[in-house]
Amino acid sequence: MVYIRQDKLPKLKEYKYQGVDHSLVSQYVLKPFYTHVVIKCFPMWMAPNLITTLGFSFVVINFLTMLWYTPTLDQDCPRWVYASWAVGLFLYQTFDAVDGSQARRTRQSGPLGELFDHGVDAVNTTLEVLLFAATMNLGQGWKTVLTLFASLLTFYVQTWDEYHTHTLTLGVISGPVEGILTLCIVYALTAYLGGGSFWQQSMLATMGIGKFNFIPDAVYNLAWNEWYMFYGGIVLVFNTVSSALNVMKARRARGQRTRVALLGLLTFGAAWTLIPMYLYLQPVILRQHLVPFIFYAGLVNAYSVGRMIISHLTKSRFPRGNVLIYPLIYGVADSLGPWLQQHVGFGWPSALGNDVYQVAFVFMCLGLAIGVHGSFIIDVIWTICDYLDIWCLTIKYPHQEGKEKQEGKKGQ
């Protein structure tokens, strides 16, 4: 499959990064730290995409330790594991932020950098959901699924916003800045407090607040992780509404209809109509094999986001639909028949059942998602590198400032 058509390739040379960061933490704390301290640690020969890859490797290591110590997402880990997750995520954030500075420093800024950066972020989002669920001892259940939904929606809407406004806008509170720092603090506190089981306790009771009559039992008994999810829900609604308003304002300014842009959210909505339906119909996947399914759901979102970025870079039509949803449609249809037979009185038999074949189906979906998304990444990287005459992880033509000055003098 061709992801970038030949007639769209010249648009890559018109690319110019545009971003707005309203975060006070970013402006007054992180950016000075990156500019005056961190960037000096990287040599001029190091490609920006290599820095991004090295940063992502820290998260991969974190994920592997999670699989070793708490594959079911509900067991306490040694303190050093949580501490390593905090350090690894902070390093990822730092490397991910510095790669842009390195690109400008080495004169390697271009569309490949944005694609590579967003592509890694899309995969990292899913990995951090699993790490957060393990830290909070959420286990394999609806709380973890809800956390995944909120995280993927935030990333999808942010990319959808950038496609229509042509500007990457980070609000006063954003996932790449405050969201990641919050996770780092949560991981570090979990290491200090001794394990994820701490977050299962009532927050108000742990803080020493008495049970007053005006506090409902449901509120008083809310655990730390449930309060955190409540806070995350507020931030999610705020960021989603803000992005929608940004998109509608930008399209109105260009004399375009706003409803057309809102249709772009239907792809995400379709996927997240099917995902909870399938998990409800197949509790064996929800309670015992959720980790591979989350990987699959995360790659479905990463594929949609990747195609959005390509359309943004090449100024193409918004990509609608997602081929990775089709297996999920079959899974829901296959599981719905027996449920209808049981509750309505008519239906159809399941070809997969609800045991080993259903588990095999989930792993098949995961393998298909890895193959399709992997082929997409390889194809677009190869196409962009070939057209722009660059390399992905190394600098093909190092910038030589002295040489440019000499050529300028000759021209005079």
Active-site residues, by number, are: 118
Q: Please give the span between the terminal C-alpha atoms of the chain, in angstroms, as a whole number.
A: 49
What's the one-letter identity of residue 298? G
Q: Cα separation of 407 and 412, whole Å? A: 9
> Would you tell me the crossing angle of helices 48-69 and 79-105 to the nearest 10 degrees?
170
**Would you call 148 exposed, middle or buried from its count of C-beta atoms within 10 A (0-12, 13-18, 19+)?**
buried
Give the amino acid at 124.
Answer: N
Q: Which of 309, 316, 319, 328 is nearest to 270 (CA)?
A: 328
Dihedral (CA of 226, 228, 231, 236) sign = negative
The neighbour count for residue 9, using CB atoms within 10 Å, is 15
In whole angstroms, give the CA distance from residue 61 to residue 67.
10
Query: What is the rounded CA–CA span in Å between residue 298 and residue 348?
Result: 30
Q: How far, in Å, CA of 379 to CA of 385, rounded? A: 10
Neighbour tally for 174: CB within 10 Å? 21
Per DSSP (E only), the strands in 113-264 are 168-170
168 has which bridge partners? 19
**Residues 226 and 146 sit within 8 Å (Cβ to Cβ):** no
Chain position carrying tokens 């449901």: 218
Nearest to 118 by CA among 153, 162, 150, 171: 162
The contacts of residue 25 (CB under 8 Å, 6+ apart) are 177, 178, 181
Q: How far, in Å, CA of 275 to CA of 272, rounded? A: 5
Q: How many helices (H) and strands (E) does the chain have?
A: 17, 2
**Beta carbons of 303 and 119 less than 8 angstroms apart:** no
Torsion angle of C-alpha atoms 284, 131, 188, 35, degrees rounded to 10? -160
Question: How long a stretch of residues is the chain?
Answer: 412
